[in-house]
Structure formats: C-alpha cells, structure tokens
Structure 1
C-alpha cells in the first residue's frame, strides 16, 4: 500500500478541515429548527439526498458521464455505516447536552486508529497513540458526568456514533476510492426511517428553513470533504478533523442558546481540545507522514 505524498497529505488536511468546520454548524441548526427528532431526521436527510442528485445530474451534463456514486462493496458498507451514524447522532443530540455529544463523538479517532490497526495493519504513529490515551481520560470524565446527571442513553448513543464513524472512515481508507457521494446518498436510509416514524403523528417543525439549509448546503459540504479525506490521510487523521465540531459546536450553542456545559464536561473537553490542537499542528507539519509505516 503506497503512502500518500506530502502534497496529497496537505490536500487531505485542507479538505477535512473544511468538512469539520461545516460539520460544527450541524447541531446549532438542528436546535434552531425547534422540532421533534423524527421529522428533523427525515427532512434533513431527504434534503441532502435531493441536493446530491442535482449535483450528480449537473456533473453528468457538464462532463458527459456519470460520476462514481457507490464504489463497490466498500461503498455499500460505508453507506450503511454513515446512514446508521446519522440516526445514532441525532438520538444523542435529543437525549443529552450538546457539549456531551460533540466531546464524546470526538472519540471516533480512537476507534478509527484501532480498527485501522486491526484490519488494515496500519500502525498509528506514536504521536497518535499518545493523543488517543489522553482522549480516553477526557471522554471518561464526560461519560462519568453523564451517568450522574441521567444522560446515560444520550451519551451511549454518542459513543456508538463515534464507533460507527470510525468504522466508516476505516472502510473508506481500505478502499482507496472516492467516497465523496457515499455518505450523501446514504442519507436516504435515515430519511425513510425519519418520515416513517413521523408521518403517523404528522411532520411538525417550527422553523424548517434551518433544517433545509443544513441538509442542502452544510451536510453535503461536510460529508463530501470528510469522506474524501481518507484518500489522502489515515483514518485516525481524518477522525481528528471531525473534532473541529468538538471545539466549535459548544461555542455556537453557548452563544445562541446560553447552554453552559457542566464543570466536569468542560474539564474533559479542555483535555480533548488541547490534545486536538497539539496533534493537528504536529500532523500539519508533516510529522504523521514521516512516522507512518
């Protein structure tokens, strides 16, 4: 398995940084919509699918050929994982505090590193292993706080979402193929589930414009960039850029909704943020490329 060039590595860093920044707006937009989970899941997901189909059609007209949408069995597996992660993520958003969600989902690089080590034989560099050990401490503090505050189900869903995302990134890394459209089209699964659960009681969202904006613009940009990243970066590195949401989402929610995290959550989050910044700067300087073997 050939290693990516330094220029390719930097391209991957740029793509995943853009994706992580866009992803940080997801929870605030979901909260601004002020609706129940199932209709929000359905509308957010179906909007993403429809926009993706328009983009695919535009590419067909401009280039004269269809882009690769689902690259073989790896694409199918990754699509199922991305679709499931959408469900578990929104379950966590509606059942625990925003800071708990994003800080726990930040654990996904740990799962990505372990899965890549087990299945792809990609041993993480020492810097990543040290970062993961510190992250265990931070996530442990947040989960302990969630248990004492009665948010155990939401915290568990966030942790499951982290595992599923780590698996999806690892599958994309294993395929070495373009997975940009996979998570976008995979939104069809949560769309069907969301509307199936919501329609008996009626679809009611107070401010649907926020969800439409989220599904039409924010999610396509975020998922395409983050799904393309594994072509150039290892799974743990891509997972790190999901952590931009960890840093920024609580800040957006704090500003908009005045939702202040608990002291224990802030302590665990502070550990994660310091680790993220240190590790990301090290990777940006090429440390990860030199150490990978």
Structure 2
C-alpha cells in the first residue's frame, strides 16, 4: 500500500474509532441511576470479557498478551486508566463545559509530544485542523464556560495529557501486539474504582438493566473503538490520531437528539460543524502532500 493510501486507511480507522466511541452517549443516558464510578466499574466488567474472548479466539493467552506489550503496554493501560479516572473527577468538581474543553486539548498535546519525542513531522494541515478544532470546541461550550474549580480544571487538562501521551505510546508500539493494553486498562479500572467504592461505601448492587447498558458500552463501544484506534496508530501520526477521533465529540449530541429528542443548543451545532471541518482538514491534509515525502514518523526509531 502506498504512503498516501496507508494514511487514508489509517485516517478512516481513526474516524471510525471516534464514531464507535460516540455511541456511548446513548448507554450513558440510559443509566440515570448509576453514578460515574459505578458506571465505569460496570463498563469495565463488560470490556474485560470482550478482550479475553478475542484473545482466546485468536488462540492467544490474554495474560501473555498483556505481558508481550512490555513497558509500552503497561504505560498505555496506565494512561487510559488515568484518563478515565481523571475525567470522572473533573466532571464532578468543575463545570461540564470546562471538563470537555480542557480534556479536548489532547490533539494539541499529542502533536507537541509527537514532535518532541518521536520527531514526527507535523503537517501544516494537522496544525490547522487542531486550531479549527479548538475553535469549534470553544463555540460548543460557549456560554457554559465558567471558572469552575481549579483542581477540577487541572484534572480535565490531565485527561487531555493522558490521551495525548497514549497516542505516543500507540505509535511507539505500532509494530507489536498492543491488544493487551485494553485488557490492562479494564483490570486497572476495576481495581481503582473498586478501591474507591470500598473506601466511600458505594454499592455495586445497582439496577441490572442499567448495569447491562454500561457493560454494552464497554464491550461494544469502548472495546471496538480501542481496537480501531490501535490499528489506526500504525498508519497516522500521533497528532492526527487524537484529532480524527474527535468525531466522538461531534456525533455524541447527534445520537442523544435522535434517540432521546434532546435538541442541542445552536452553539453545539455550530461548534460541531466547525470541529468537523478541523477533523476533515486533518484527515485529507496528508493526501495533498507529495507522495515522495513520507512522514518522519514512518522512519522514527521505536
């Protein structure tokens, strides 16, 4: 496959990953009696059997998959666990708009880290896409932004940093089996959420139907999205990887409108349209680059 074809394929996978992630907005809305930690726990209970089952179908040992990822696999699992836990904390301690905006710094952070760590050549189209995407997010959250809580805002920024760092790890491990990252993430999330619930006396005995929705979120939307994201990391740079997956932010409100009749605010629609432009700029930008100029990422040492 040519460099250009490989990039377009990777861009499609990243866009698809964000799309699959976005369906989680439906199951979240169908679980009103679960708080954030309970939902995350049950979501991980759904994710764990999926990754174990996939490994067994491939004739591989799930435990060996986790081990084969080495330090990169462990780092990836830690990044995803920290991202999920910090996002819950941010949503609980600062404004929702602040949590979404600060955590969505991931594409910018990923691009900067890719340049510093991987020495990837970040295309002008990627920088433009990130800038347009940030503008879209500002429009989406306009009117809801507040000072919030400083610690909560910092936690939300930590979400973006963890996601950006994961994009680097995924790129570094693109030549090895990183499937164990998803299993490690599920295990670590269950451990951390279980410890928190035990300390706070939070029950896990929640409505079974809502638990099922959370497990579907983990097994189908998180699991499927992560496999697509890891596959996309083999073909596109870290800066683009997180930006293209922002289709989650664009489509989430669409599903809520279609399934629950919740009409989004005008700023949400306008901001989503602007964000979509940024995503498309990043997705198509490499296609206009000269074929004989492969990305430095393809030559980066692993």
Distance 1:263 1:204 in 2: 39
1:268 Cα offset (Å) = 3.8
1:202 Cα offset (Å) = 1.3
Corresponding residue of 2:27: 29
Q: Is the 8 A contact 2:20 2:221 kept in 1?
A: yes
Cα deviation digits, residues 27-59 of structure 1 (max 9, x gap):
321221221111111111122122212221222
Corresponding residue of 1:187: 186
Deviates more, 1:224-233 or 1:157-166: 157-166
Deviates more, 1:103-112 or 1:167-176: 103-112
Say which SS state the counterpart of residue 172 (structure 2) adopts. helix
Distance 2:70 2:129 in 1: 33
- Equivalent residue runs for 1:1-293 within 5 Å: 5-34=3-32, 35-60=34-59, 67=65, 70-92=68-90, 105-141=103-139, 145-148=143-146, 157-176=155-174, 177-199=176-198, 200-206=201-207, 207-283=210-286, 285=287, 287=289, 290=293, 292-293=295-296
Cα deviation digits, residues 176-213 of structure 1 (max 9, x gap):
33323313431211111222333523124332221121
1:170 Cα offset (Å) = 0.8
Distance 2:156 2:23 in 1: 17
Cα deviation digits, residues 155-191 of structure 1 (max 9, x gap):
6544432221111011221233332331343121111
Distance 1:107 1:229 in 2: 20
Q: Is the 8 A contact 1:125 1:291 kept in 2?
A: no
1:132 Cα offset (Å) = 2.1
Q: Is the 8 A contact 2:22 2:247 kept in 1?
A: yes
Deviates more, 1:42-51 or 1:95-104: 95-104
Q: Report the TM-score when normalising by structure 2.
A: 0.80
Distance 2:136 2:152 in 1: 17
Q: Is the 8 A contact 1:184 1:223 kept in 2?
A: no
Structure 1 pair 272–230 and aligned structure 2 pair: CA distance change class (3 A): same
Deviates more, 1:187-196 or 1:3-12: 3-12
Distance 2:68 2:86 in 1: 22
Q: Is the 8 A contact 1:40 1:194 kept in 2?
A: no
Alignment RMSD, CA only? 3.3
Corresponding residue of 2:300: none
Distance 1:235 1:19 in 2: 14
In structure 2, the gaps of 5 or more residues are 297-302
Q: Report the TM-score when normalising by structure 1.
A: 0.82
Say which SS state the counterpart of residue 179 (structure 1) adopts. coil
Distance 1:118 1:4 in 2: 27
